[in-house]
Amino acid sequence: MPAISAISCRWQAEAARKAKRAGFDIVYVYAGMGYLPYEFLLPEWNHRTDEYGGSVANRVRIVRELIEVTKDAVGDKCAVALRISLEELRGRASDRAASEAHEVVELLPTYPICGT
Chain mean position to CA 89: 15
**Catalytic entry in 30, 35, 38, 52:** 35
- Give catalytic status of residue 28 as yes or no: no
| Cα separation values, 5 from 26, 52, 92, 115, Å | 22, 9, 25, 32
Residue 83 backbone phi and psi in degrees, to 5:
-105, 115
Nearest partner of 25 among 115, 109, 116, 108, judged by Cα: 115
State the catalytic residues.
Answer: 35
